[in-house]
Amino acid sequence: MIKIDSKNEEILRVLEQDGRISNVDLAERVGLSASACLRRVQELEKTGTIRGYRAVIDPAARGIGMTIFVMVGLSEHRREDARAFESAVSSSPLVRECHNVTGNVEYLLRIEVPDLAAYRTFHDETLGSLSQVHSIISYICLASPKDERA
% of the chain residues with pLDDT over 70: 99
* pLDDT confidence of residue 107: 98
Domain with CATH 3.30.70.920 in the chain: 59-140
How high is the mean pLDDT of the chain?
A: 95
CATH of 59-140, one of 3.30.200.20, 3.90.550.10, 3.40.50.300, 3.30.70.920: 3.30.70.920
pTM for the whole thing?
A: 0.84
Q: In what order do the strands lie in the sheet with 107-113?
A: 95-100, 107-113, 66-74, 133-140
The model's pLDDT over 80-138, given as tens digits with 9 standing for 90+, comes to 999 999 999 999 999 999 999 999 999 999 999 999 999 999 999 999 999 999 999 99
Domain with CATH 1.10.10.10 in the chain: 6-46
The CATH topology of domain 6-46 is Arc Repressor Mutant, subunit A (1.10.10)
Classify strands 95-100 and 66-74 as parallel, antiparallel or unpaired: unpaired
Sign of the four-CA dihedral 32, 36, 41, 47: negative
